[in-house]
Amino acid sequence: MAETSTIQENAKPDITDANTYKHQARIIEIKKFFKDPITIVAIAGIIFFLLLFTIYPLIILLKDAFVRRYGGVDQTTTYQFSYIFSTLNYQVSIKNSLIIGLVVALGATLVGFLFAYVDVYLKVKGGFMRALFKIVSLLPLVSPPFVISIAIIVLFGNSGLITNRWWGISMNQGLYGYPGVMVVEIITFFPTAYLMLKGLLKNIDPSLEEAARDMGASRWHVFWTVTMPLMKPGLANAFLVSFIESMADFANPMIIGGSMETMSTQIYNTLMGGNGINANYQAAAMSLILLAISMAFFFIQKYVFERKSYATISGKATRARIQIDDKSVVIPLEIFCSFISICVIGLYVVVIMVSFWQNMDTSDIVYTIANWKEATTGTGLDSLKATLLTSLIAAPLCALMSMIIAYLIVKRKFVGRGFIEFTSMLAMAIPGTVLGLGFIRGFVKGVFHTGWMQGLYGTIWIIIIVFIVRSLPVGVRSGVAALRQIDKSIEESSYDMGANSAHVFRTVTLPLIKDSFFSSLSTSFVRSITAISAVILLCTSNIKLMTYVINEFAGKGAYGIASAYATILILVAGVTIGIFDFLTGLLGKGRKIKGAKKDNG
Amino acid sequence: MRKSVKLLATILAITAVSGMTSCGKTSDSSTGDNLEKELNVIGGCEEPYLKAVCEAFATKYSVKVNYIRLSAGEMESKVEGEDGNPTSDVLFGGTTDPYNYLKNLNLLEKYKSVNDGNITDSKFKDVDNYWYGIYKGILGFMWNKAKLTELGLTAPTSWADLLSDKYHSAANKGYITWSHPSTAGTAKLTVNTIVQLKANGKKVTYDNEGTQTTAYDDTEGMKYFKSLDTNIAEYTKSGSGASKKVGSGECVIGVGFLHDAIYQMVDQKYGNKIGIGAPSEGTAFEVGATGILKGAKNPNLAKKFVDFALTPECVELGATNGSYQFLVLDEKTGVKQPQAAIDAGLTSVKTMDYDFDDAKTNTSHYVTDWMTAVNKAAPTA
């Protein structure tokens, strides 16, 4: 920690007076830093956490990827990589992942942008459209894996309700593989793009576009020459995020991919196929390749486009936008978005319906409540408890940690800040399967096989930690965004009056980032209860999560029970979001009323 | 940035050192004759069967039994990953492949059960008492009757039959669902079966990760699979994939275990919508096993569990819980074979003289050859 004195190396040589002043200011800052043990402990704790639970599992995989057991001895070699790149099976799955990723990212960004544009720019009538948009943007985010795939198979599969029973197509084999996976992933990921782009569109100052209109440009011309250039970095951002999500998706290709494999499914299958020790090393090598691709896109997203979007769209729009009410624009777009929305909602209705089916025989549907009975008793009840327990512990810890990290990144300067910022966001680029593999390989015999922390594996805590690591990027991002809007002077005045950092954080910063705290609380809760790829390897006979059970049943073709479980999860997630929304609203009001009273008094 | 790297290194070093100091502290729980209070089971059989067995054992000994179901491959990977520090005590069900593999890695505990005599056929227990058989499952064909009629087809009756041109559409889309040899134990068994049938006893040697090993000549076998590939609709990840899709008609013809199909007919209520049969050339069977994990935290209870698993009281729970495999206990124990399997005509199925020893060493060799020969990773679309 002694190197702290050289933090601001980039201070340019200036006039001597200014230099001395800056130097003194720096010394004061450093002194303040060391007088503040709470901050130091927090920083050390967070760095420790990130090293152990994000970097270390990756190091283990890195180590495994360069091993081959030959003649009964482990050799250090690049053999696994040359094997992967020379085996057609692996080449094809890399190609599949990339093609699906690109198409899905393109589709999700496009659909997401249309939704965002309609939402922000068009004058849409009535609460119906608003409600549709709200539901459609939320549903895929709160729904567990498999759900959309199951619904699509039931409707359009070889014995699909629509394709087989209504249209009389005896086999619809074209669905399995690229088309199925692409459609399902676009439906799953476009809401994320929509929410990202909606925020950006809202921040565009309408004056820019109106000025162009006033000078006689057509609406189309304004769209292409003003709106689009402003949105370009945002669109690129949404594209890259969707691409990373698609690359990491494990559940959907598993169920609707037919005999097609993507990198995520192949890692799982190689590892779980019982193909001997070298298969483990192959899986590790494959994980590294997947990680490298995801990280490359993550870097581009973070260091090229995220910066740009901050630079172009700064602050908030100065006033409300005059929304477009031209019928020739509004009606087609409205129809398009409503159609997609209704289709998506329809898929969820199908899932609820299937949860009451005795089996998947669409020619002879028998209704039953047996699935619900099974999902709410015995294993069902146990798994619900395990899911709730782990997620309820993980969510507040994750939200709190996100806020502390965001606070440190934005408000403090210290050695290792770059590391914390980078590593806490890194989890976004680590596919769940890869992280899960790193955890099981890394902790089962303790850290570096020393036995230290061995007790962690097989407890609920390892699952809780994975949940936290997986949700941290979302929380930190929202915390950083919220904190950047708060002026530093508010906190400084509190420090000047003698408060320590914990006190300042609790009484000044926290109330100001409350909304962001609650939103990351509910996001991490929902992400945790619906997580599958990262934790499937970590479930044990004591701890069976609901998503694990859904995976078991869906894999067996018992879609009825899987759907009942999925419906319960969606309900839990929906109710939770509702409660948090309500709480946030309540607290927000409370603050306003208090403020008003003070003003009056 | 360089500073943070330095810091990273320091903290890593501290982590490692503090890790070292606590090394070796892991306590060895003392083992007396007393039974432990809790048992953790990994099951490779179907969930209802596993659940029933665990509950029966829990009641019998007034203990708590936790269980998790994993496929055979997952079971093997999990135990191997846990590498002697298992979160579970005992394995129940699943093919013998993972048991043999784990035995070689020294991850199973040797135990001669008091009920050892209940199994007389040496095929159904490990020669060194690392595992015991509990059931046998027969490999065969299953089909959706309505889909066959719709497509104007007849059901296959032999392995050779599966290659027929009628089992793919004009657009070269196959109608047969089989599982993927890299993931499914069922598919590995099928690969071994075909290789053994086609090799006619001819053997060759190959380089097995540094050791010269003798195996069946799989040239003819791989020709078969290359040709079969045209008729394949999907290679499912799990061995029971076909059976789960055949009832609804998602799958037209499936290759897999016949007891899985019976489960769909009886328990999933697909009834006579599914037809089943076995190949006339003779078919192979799997043996489901049970065994104790090395380093089990509850070793005494685990032994009692294995004793229990070798009684009719335990294995007959299969038939009442949707698992219709034939039981391997000796007739003198009075064990009752599942009626549904007898009704389905499985007693008359012709089985081949399957070379289990060859399968133990050479399965991954055949699977690698299969991957090169077939290369079916490309999307069907």
Alpha helices in A35-125 (DSSP H): 37-50, 56-65, 79-86, 88-121
Q: Which of B107, B248, B259 to mutate to test the interface with A (most CBs of A within 10 A)?
A: B248
**Confidence (pLDDT) at B15:** 45
B245 → closest Cβ in A51, A164, A557 = A557
A70 → closest Cβ in B26, B182, B209 = B209
Q: Is residue A5 part of a domain?
A: no
The H helix count followed by the E strand count for chain A is 27, 2
Per DSSP, the three-state class of B49 is: helix
Whole-prediction pTM: 0.80
For B3-23, the pLDDT digits (tens) are: 554 554 554 444 444 444 433
Residues of chain B with Cβ-Cβ distance to A454 below 8 Å are 26, 85
Residue A108 shares a structural domain with residue A148: yes
Q: How far apart (Å, rounded) are the C-alpha atoms in residues A578 and A582?
A: 6
Residue A41 shares a structural domain with residue A118: no
**Confidence (pLDDT) at A306:** 65
Nearest to A427 by CA among A61, A57, A63: A57
Alpha helices in A363-513 (DSSP H): 370-376, 379-411, 417-426, 432-443, 460-484, 488-496, 501-504, 510-512
* Chain A residues 207-266 within an 8 A CB cutoff of chain B: 254, 257-261, 265
Residue A148 shares a structural domain with residue A289: yes
Residues A144, A348: contact at Cβ < 8 Å?
A: no
Q: Which of B87, B92, B368 to mutate to test the interface with A (most CBs of A within 10 A)?
A: B87
Residue A427 shares a structural domain with residue A300: no
Q: Residue A221: which H helix or E strand, with range?
A: helix A219-222
Mean pLDDT of chain B: 84
Per DSSP, the three-state class of B142 is: strand
Domain that holds residue A372: 35-65+366-601
**Confidence (pLDDT) at A5:** 42
Q: How far apart (Å, rounded) are the C-alpha atoms in residues A490 and A496?
A: 10
Q: Is residue A286 part of a domain?
A: yes
For the cut 90, the answer to whether the pLDDT of residue B42 exceeds it is yes
Residue A56 shares a structural domain with residue A128: no
Domains located in chain B, CATH noted: 38-136+286-337 (3.40.190.10), 138-285+352-374 (3.40.190.10)
Residue A224 shares a structural domain with residue A118: yes
The answer to whether the Cα torsion of A82, A84, A87, A93 is positive or negative is negative
C-alpha distance from B117 to closest chain A C-alpha (Å): 30
Radius of gyration of chain A measured on its C-alpha atoms: 26
Q: DSSP string spanning B87-118?
A: S-SEEEEEEHHHHHHHHHTT-EE----TTGGG
Percent of chain B with pLDDT over 70: 90
CATH number reported for the structural domain that contains residue A146 in this entry: 1.10.3720.10
Given A329, A354, A379, the domain boundary residue is A354
Do A540 and B98 lie within an 8 Å CB cutoff? no
Q: How far apart are the first and last CA of chain A?
A: 49
Residue A201 shares a structural domain with residue A291: yes
Residue A402 shares a structural domain with residue A273: no
Residues of chain A with Cβ-Cβ distance to B243 below 8 Å are 557
Is the Cβ of A87 closer than 8 Å to some Cβ of chain B?
Answer: yes
Nearest to B133 by CA among B314, B284, B257: B314
**Confidence (pLDDT) at B26:** 35
Q: How far apart (Å, rounded) are the C-alpha atoms in residues B222 and B365?
A: 12
Do B19 and A48 lie within an 8 Å CB cutoff? no
Given A325, A354, A383, the domain boundary residue is A354
C-alpha distance from B32 to closest chain A C-alpha (Å): 23
Residue A322 shares a structural domain with residue A403: no
Residue A60 shares a structural domain with residue A189: no
Chain B: residue whose CA lies nearest to A5? B3
Q: How far apart (Å, rounded) are the C-alpha atoms in residues A464 and A534?
A: 11
Residues of chain B with Cβ-Cβ distance to A274 below 8 Å are 72-77, 97-98, 101, 185
Torsion, Cα B78 B178 A365 A347, to 10 degrees, reads: 70
Do A540 and B74 lie within an 8 Å CB cutoff? no
Percent of chain B with pLDDT over 90: 43
Do A274 and B269 lie within an 8 Å CB cutoff? no
Where does chain B show beta strands of DSSP type E?
Answer: 38-43, 64-69, 90-95, 108-109, 132-144, 176-179, 203-208, 211-216, 232-236, 253-257, 274-277, 285-293, 326-327
Q: How far apart (Å, rounded) are the C-alpha atoms in residues B149 and A404?
A: 66
Q: Is residue A394 part of a domain?
A: yes
Average pLDDT over residues B52-57: 94
Chain A: residue whose CA lies nearest to B179? A259
Q: How far apart (Å, rounded) are the C-alpha atoms in residues B158 and A459?
A: 49
Chain A: residue whose CA lies nearest to B234? A259
Residues of chain A with Cβ-Cβ distance to B47 below 8 Å are 379, 552
Q: What angle do CA A439, A444, A447 make, to 5 degrees?
A: 75
β-pairing, B38-43 vs B64-69, is parallel
Question: DSSP state, A13?
Answer: P
C-alpha distance from B331 to closest chain A C-alpha (Å): 33
Is the Cβ of A70 closer than 8 Å to some Cβ of chain B?
Answer: yes
Nearest to A566 by CA among A579, A580, A551: A551
Q: Is residue A8 part of a domain?
A: no
Q: How far apart (Å, rounded) are the C-alpha atoms in residues B292 and B92?
A: 9
Given A333, A354, A375, the domain boundary residue is A354
Residue A259 shares a structural domain with residue A316: yes
Per DSSP, the three-state class of B33 is: coil
Q: Name residue B59's beta-bridge partners.
A: none
Do A540 and B88 lie within an 8 Å CB cutoff? yes
Q: Is residue A24 part of a domain?
A: no
Residues A47, A56: contact at Cβ < 8 Å?
A: no
Q: How far apart (Å, rounded) are the C-alpha atoms in residues B228 and B174?
A: 9
Q: In chain A, which stretches have pLDDT less than 50?
A: 1-13, 310-315, 589-601
Q: How far apart (Å, rounded) are the C-alpha atoms in residues A347 and A345?
A: 5
The H helix count followed by the E strand count for chain B is 14, 13
Residue A237 shares a structural domain with residue A348: yes
Q: How far apart (Å, rounded) are the C-alpha atoms in residues A60 and B222?
A: 37
**Confidence (pLDDT) at A308:** 58
ipTM reported for the complex, 2 dp: 0.73
Chain A: residue whose CA lies nearest to B152? A170
Number of structural domains (chain A) is 2
For B324-350, the pLDDT digits (tens) are: 888 888 888 888 888 888 887 777 788
Q: How far apart (Å, rounded) are the C-alpha atoms in residues B176 and B77?
A: 29
